[in-house]
Amino acid sequence: MLSIGHVNVASSLVLAPMAGISDLPFRLISRSFGCRLAFTEMISAQSLVRRNRTTLKMLSTTTDDSPLGVQILGGNPDIIKEALDILSVHAFDIIDFNAACPVSKVVSRREGAGLLREPALLQRLLEETVRNTALPVTVKIRSGWDQSSVNAEEIALRAQDAGAKGLFIHGRTRMQGYSGKVDYNIIRKIKESLTIPVIASGDALNPDLIGKMFDETGCDGVAVARGSLGSPWIFRDTAEYLKAGKVPFSPDVHERVQTMKEHLELLIAFHGEKTGVMFFRKFFTWYTRGIAVKRLRGRAFHAGTRGEMLGLIEELQTSPHGRDICSGE
């Protein structure tokens, strides 16, 4: 159970925001395997205020896609306030403020992880966010800008003082990006310092590592990102692991193929055939990780129609490599 403000979730696992990944189809597939709380892709407050068509589409949801958080990115309080006004008419349950994105063009605008170097400014932005929404506000941070300026504990306390109802912490610095070791110690220190829920992230790639994150940090929840790519059953498998201490077998080839088909159809329904098939190309690679089907991946990269992609998915059931490895044998 995870409680963020008035939002109570019957799971301690969260689907993290991922740019270009966690759209509505991906969230629905993840929810079918036990994901309870999910977040939209990161939403630029500036793009939202400009009514950018692509950004507005990212806000799409359904009644099956709940509870749902929306993550916003920004550094201008006036723009953030205007963006929150736009979001107020949508069916979201949580507002998450991004102070963790390491991308250079983001931090150069004093946004994302760039705010880790300006704790007082980040606190003011969070106070403004809390003041202008009725929803619980969370914030996503990193351990610091670099190893010489690990200040996550100070920032976490400022976020709590600003009224945040939860804190997401990636146990790496901005300069590390997604490489190097996750700092479990800083996450544990933050958990011990705060009274609000702490949701940890970083290398939550499989049930074993997620279990390690809980054990090493005492966190209230774990945000799953890269671990869900091509493996939406990570939510189901991790729940079983945390309950019984044992990881179940991976899905057999039939379940994997069925999941891929469902995901493809959801993408086509949401984006249209051309774009949906194009989006699925990267998912085909992720779904077939660990399977010696390089020939199929190459063809999937060039597939342009629903029929072509479905045919490649079907071939997994007749491929001896796909059949054996998918079944966990």
Joined tokens for residue 83: 């963006």
Catalytic residue, chosen from 35, 101, 219, 326, is: 101
326 part of the active site: no
Whether the CA torsion 199, 39, 22, 56 is positive or negative: it is negative
Residues 3 and 197 sit within 8 Å (Cβ to Cβ): yes
* Residue type at 246 in one-letter notation: K
Residues 150 and 187 sit within 8 Å (Cβ to Cβ): no
Name the H helices within the chain.
Answer: 24-31, 45-49, 53-57, 77-87, 104-107, 119-131, 152-162, 184-193, 207-217, 234-244, 253-271, 273-287, 294-302, 306-315, 320-326
Contacts for 20-25: CB closer than 8 Å, 24+ residues apart: 21/229, 23/58, 23/60, 23/270, 24/60, 24/61, 24/62, 24/65, 24/266, 24/270, 25/263, 25/266, 25/267, 25/269, 25/270, 25/271
| Catalytic annotation, residues | 101
